[in-house]
Chain A
Amino acid sequence: MSATVESLTARTSGALEAVAVVAGTVEDEWQYVTDLVAAWSARLATVGSARLDEMAPEPVESAVDRVIEEALLVTDPHRAIDWLSTLSQVVLVALDERG
């Protein structure tokens, strides 16, 4: 495996959209879900742009793929809302970035 940091942040943003589909079924929280995805996607895009061509070490790519897998396991919409925040934080920790 070999991936750039930018590709990992893009993968994460894609996963956020998928988790948001589950989370968005909580009707009262639809706007919050939308705002969370926008805020975290923007943060991930900033990191991706700043480290555009940097290759991520293999453990970091494995970490990102595994936490995306974990987030996509969640089927409860309320827990999915929690994971919109958690997924991005775990990826940023793996990339040694601040939230």
Chain B
Amino acid sequence: MRFQDAAVDARAVVYAGIQADPLVAEAADLLTDANPAQRVLARAVMNGESTDPAAWRTMFPTLFGGAAEPALRARSEAILRASLRVAERGEAVRSQFRGAIVESLTERLLARRAGPAVRRERRILFDGVRAEIHPYDVTVESATPEAYDCKWGARGINPEVLLQLASARSNAATEGVELVVSLVVFDAHRSCLVRLARLGGAAGGMGLVALETLRGLARPRPAPAPPGGPR
């Protein structure tokens, strides 16, 4: 098996512009060291209707209340500001930004343990197998390669994604390569399990990284846990 850059089609050009937006990098940087509650804050604000920061501070007393440590509060304020700027982009654009932020966050976390082996928008080619059209959002191109598909919400998990990941793992095994495949979903583990159950469950060997366990991407493997496994 081998990795290859994705084709540069019209979609890729448009999306590359979003990925390169400084706001994506800013949000991803802030979320890299965020705690689970701060990630919920970002998710809520980027999904929300209100653009008044005071309203969001009221909703998160553990992050903005009087008992919050100054450093926690400062990072929470920065996450709130960045998230509001995403929310203010309008529905269509913010949807693209949210996806790009999850991918960028995944890239940053993986880079902490895998450095330059982490790549974006790469296809995986197997001998004698027709190439998948869609590239993987993030890959780790090392002795034990890894492929990640990133989703903003559990609803983004669909049969095609599960099939692509399972097929890649199976095709790699045919070539004697252990390919780690995983979903990264910026949503609650519980919601992901609900979605996966509706789709008949995840294939064996496929990992699931949810909102609560994102920082595990930065830790040395074995990771991540299987979808129904321990968190």
Contact = CB atoms under 8 A, between A and B. Distances in A.
Interface of A: 29, 31-32, 35-36, 39-40, 43, 57, 59-60, 62-63, 66-67, 70, 73-74, 76, 79, 81-86, 88-90, 93-94, 96, 98-99
A35 B188 contact: no
Given A32-B194, A83-B47, A99-B212, 7 more contacts: A31-B198, A40-B190, A81-B153, A85-B188, A89-B43, A93-B40, A93-B41
B44 A43 contact: no
Interface in B56-74: 58-62, 65
A99 B214 CA distance: 14
Contacts of A99: 36, 40, 188-190, 211-212
A29 B188 CA distance: 18
A2 B200 CA distance: 44
B37 A93 contact: yes
15 contacts: A40-B191, A60-B61, A63-B59, A73-B49, A79-B47, A81-B153, A83-B47, A85-B191, A86-B40, A89-B44, A93-B40, A94-B59, A98-B212, A99-B190, A99-B212
Given A39-B194, A85-B153, A93 B60 contact: yes
A96 B36 CA distance: 11
Contacts of A63: 58-61
Contacts of A60: 61
B91 interface: yes
A76 B188 CA distance: 21
